[in-house]
């Protein structure tokens, strides 16, 4: 997309605590935004005077007193399922209101492109039903730009989506012809600026995929400078071999790996981040590996009786057969119906649920690990979404930095900005740096806090004061969305046509 020149006044953010996204401690200073870019990051009063004089003489300079506030790069939500939401609900308030300025869609093997259908099957139906209209990544990118979402959108191509399009029988691995068809779609997506490939071999629709199939597609992403993000095959008892498989797939394909929403799920598995994190560290000595994490002990996905063990709490977030059960616990429903929890789950399907399958010490070990970055994994189409959709980023700041003191502020911000842009090859974002795109958040470090809960999942966060996307003031704490909707489809830094 070409640079849009405009005659808006410049914006000078004055006297805030600058935490620039690189992971270094904050310092007091001023940030100048001109058009869609950051023009200067300077000590207080040290913004180049000639630059300010020229701006004052032309479009003017609006000053924003940021005393007591943190000025940071806009947050990058590396793990989202906002593919359709960015088009259907383009204000993107659940994300913008957290200070998020870029979302990465297409995670867990699930992407809109290149599937065209009016009856998407699970797990693609996590993206809703209306937007499976894009047979190429290019068409999806055009649809995003036409929708003018409130935040930027960068995209992974989903392996499960490719299987649904090209593999005749999902209970087996792709044959040679099917692999070639999937690889051709992968090339198209990379040409259109996709970040790389995602997979969700955890889901039964992709479970039969073998190493040959995954490498055939992933190596196309590798040749084009992409990344590989995966929801591994098993986050329960078989987590160690599943991590090994993910690392092997990335290594054989020649791709950097991102392990999605790293967790040790299920009571038998609690505490095992003491094993998984050392394994990830060991693997990361031989290849590039990162991971994402959300700050909650509950996960959320489609309703599946095999994830119901009768021990953990399961909160029904939506049911097509019994919509009235949304917001209730499976144990209570099962008792009322006088059936087992598994049987109740079968009766409630298709639906979605939150599974309280993690333990806090594991979550803390992953969040504080130097290889982790923050991704919400929010599900925007659920009637009663997991609160991570509206609250993940402020919750990390409130709970893991300010209250528990487990992260330094600059570390927490780095995991939401600079590290995220570097791992996913997003150029000119994720840092407060002159010439970078002006994606910026100003927040109150004493007040920032998530508002969303499992009972009240659609609540604004507190303390997110102002958010700029591509230089446009897009959110304020007092007026919420400004209507600017200045987001766009963001191409990976190495793509042939990337600009801005
Ligand atoms: Zn996932």
Q: What is the pLDDT of residues 432-479, one digit of tens each?
A: 999 999 999 999 999 999 999 999 999 999 999 999 999 999 999 999
Residue 198 Cα to ligand 1 middle (Å) = 10
CB count, 10 Å around CB of 284? 16
pLDDT tens track for 356-388: 999 999 999 999 999 999 999 999 998 899 999
| Residues within 5 A (CB) of ion ligand 1 | 108, 231
Two structure tokens written together for 25: 């401690």
Nearest CA among 134, 170, 141, 150 for reference residue 99: 150
Among the residues of 254-300, which ranges form H helices?
273-284
pLDDT tens track for 10-39: 999 999 999 999 999 999 999 999 999 999
Residue 43 Cα to ligand 1 middle (Å) = 42
Q: How high is the pLDDT of residue 1?
A: 41
Residue 261 Cα to ligand 1 middle (Å) = 7
Residue 7 Cα to ligand 1 middle (Å) = 43
Residue 301 Cα to ligand 1 middle (Å) = 8
Q: How high is the pLDDT of residue 498?
A: 58
Residue 79 Cα to ligand 1 middle (Å) = 8
Residue 75 Cα to ligand 1 middle (Å) = 20
The fold adopted by the segment(s) 298-357 is: Dna Ligase; domain 1 (3.30.1490)
Residue 42 Cα to ligand 1 middle (Å) = 40
3-class secondary structure, 136: coil
Q: What stretch(es) of the chain map to CATH 3.20.20.140?
A: 75-295+371-423
Residue 36 Cα to ligand 1 middle (Å) = 33
Judge whether 494 and 225 are in contact, CB under 8 Å: yes
3-class secondary structure, 471: coil
Q: What stretch(es) of the chain map to CATH 3.30.1490.130?
A: 298-357
Taking phi over 0 as left and psi of -120 to 50 as alpha, with beta for the rest, 96 belongs to alpha
Looking at 3.20.20.140, 1.20.58.220, 2.60.40.10, 3.30.1360.120, the CATH number of the domain 75-295+371-423 comes to 3.20.20.140
Q: What stretch(es) of the chain map to CATH 2.30.40.10?
A: 10-73+432-481
Q: Is the pLDDT of residue 496 over 80?
A: no
Q: How many residues are recorded in the chain? A: 500
What DSSP element (H or E) covers 94?
Answer: helix 93-96
Residue 86 Cα to ligand 1 middle (Å) = 19
Nearest CA among 196, 126, 188, 201 for reference residue 160: 201
d(CA 478, CA 77): 23
Q: How high is the pLDDT of residue 122?
A: 87
Two structure tokens written together for 108: 């867990």
Q: Which CATH architecture has domain 10-73+432-481?
A: Roll (2.30)
Residue 299 Cα to ligand 1 middle (Å) = 9
Q: Is the pLDDT of residue 500 over 50?
A: no
Q: Is the pLDDT of residue 106 over 90?
A: yes
Percent of the chain predicted with pLDDT > 90: 95
Residue 108 Cα to ligand 1 middle (Å) = 4
Contacts of 44 (CB under 8 A, 6+ apart): 14, 15, 28, 29, 30
What DSSP element (H or E) covers 75?
Answer: strand 75-77
Mean pLDDT of the chain: 96
Mean pLDDT of 130-138: 97
Nearest CA among 427, 433, 432, 415 for reference residue 490: 427
Q: Is the pLDDT of residue 5 over 70?
A: no
d(CA 234, CA 363): 17
Q: How high is the pLDDT of residue 2?
A: 40
Residue 59 Cα to ligand 1 middle (Å) = 46
Q: How high is the pLDDT of residue 497?
A: 63
Using alpha carbons, list the distances in angstroms from residue 348 to 68, 301, 343, 344.
Answer: 49, 14, 9, 6
3-class secondary structure, 252: helix
d(CA 74, CA 101): 5
Inter-helix orientation angle 239-253/273-284, to 10°: 20
């Amino acid at each position: 997309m070409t640079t849009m020149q405009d005659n808006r006044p410049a914006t000078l953010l004055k006297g805030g605590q600058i935490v620039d996204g690189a992971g270094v401690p904050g310092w007091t200073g001023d940030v100048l935004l001109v058009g869609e870019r950051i023009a200067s990051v300077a000590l207080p009063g040290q913004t180049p005077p000639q630059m300010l004089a020229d701006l004052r003489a032309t479009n003017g300079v609006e000053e924003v007193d940021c005393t007591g506030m943190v000025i940071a790069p806009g947050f990058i939500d590396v793990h989202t399922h906002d593919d359709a939401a960015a088009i259907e609900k383009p204000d993107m308030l659940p994300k913008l209101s957290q200070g998020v300025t870029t979302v990465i869609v297409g995670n867990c093997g699930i992407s809109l492109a290149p599937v065209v259908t009016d009856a998407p099957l699970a797990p693609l139906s996590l993206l809703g039903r209306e937007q499976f209209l894009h047979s190429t990544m290019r068409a999806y990118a055009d649809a995003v730009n036409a929708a003018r979402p409130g935040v930027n959108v960068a995209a992974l191509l989903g392996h499960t989506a490719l299987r649904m399009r090209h593999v005749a029988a999902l209970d087996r691995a792709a044959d040679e012809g099917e692999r070639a068809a999937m690889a051709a779609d992968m090339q198209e997506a990379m040409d259109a600026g996709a970040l790389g490939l995602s997979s969700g071999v955890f889901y039964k629709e992709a479970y039969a995929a073998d190493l040959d199939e995954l490498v055939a597609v992933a190596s196309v992403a590798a040749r084009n400078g992409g990344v590989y993000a995966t929801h591994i095959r098993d986050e329960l008892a078989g987590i160690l071999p599943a991590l090994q498989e993910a690392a092997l797939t990335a290594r054989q394909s020649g791709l950097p790996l991102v392990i999605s929403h790293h967790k040790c799920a299920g009571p038998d598995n609690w505490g095992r981040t003491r094993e998984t994190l050392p394994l990830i560290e060991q693997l990361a000595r031989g290849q590039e590996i990162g991971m994402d994490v959300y700050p909650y002990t509950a996960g959320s996905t489609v309703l599946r009786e095999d994830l119901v063990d009768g021990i953990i709490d399961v909160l029904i977030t939506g049911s097509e057969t019994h919509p009235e059960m949304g917001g209730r616990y499976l144990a209570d429903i099962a008792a009322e119906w006088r059936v087992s929890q598994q049987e109740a789950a079968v009766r409630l399907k298709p639906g979605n649920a939150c599974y309280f399958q993690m333990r806090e010490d594991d979550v803390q070990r992953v969040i504080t690990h130097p290889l982790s970055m923050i991704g919400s994994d929010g599900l925007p189409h659920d009637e009663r979404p997991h609160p991570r959709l509206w609250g993940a980023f402020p919750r990390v700041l409130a709970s893991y930095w300010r209250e528990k003191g487990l992260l330094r502020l600059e570390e927490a911000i780095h995991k939401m900005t600079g590290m995220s842009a570097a791992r996913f090859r997003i150029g000119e974002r994720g840092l407060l740096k002159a010439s970078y795109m002006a994606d910026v958040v100003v927040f109150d470090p004493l007040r920032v806090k998530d508002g969303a809960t499992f009972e009240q999942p659609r609540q604004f966060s507190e303390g997110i004061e102002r958010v700029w996307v591509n230089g446009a003031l897009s959110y304020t704490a007092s007026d919420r969305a400004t209507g600017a909707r200045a987001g766009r489809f963001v191409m990976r830094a190495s793509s042939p046509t990337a600009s801005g």
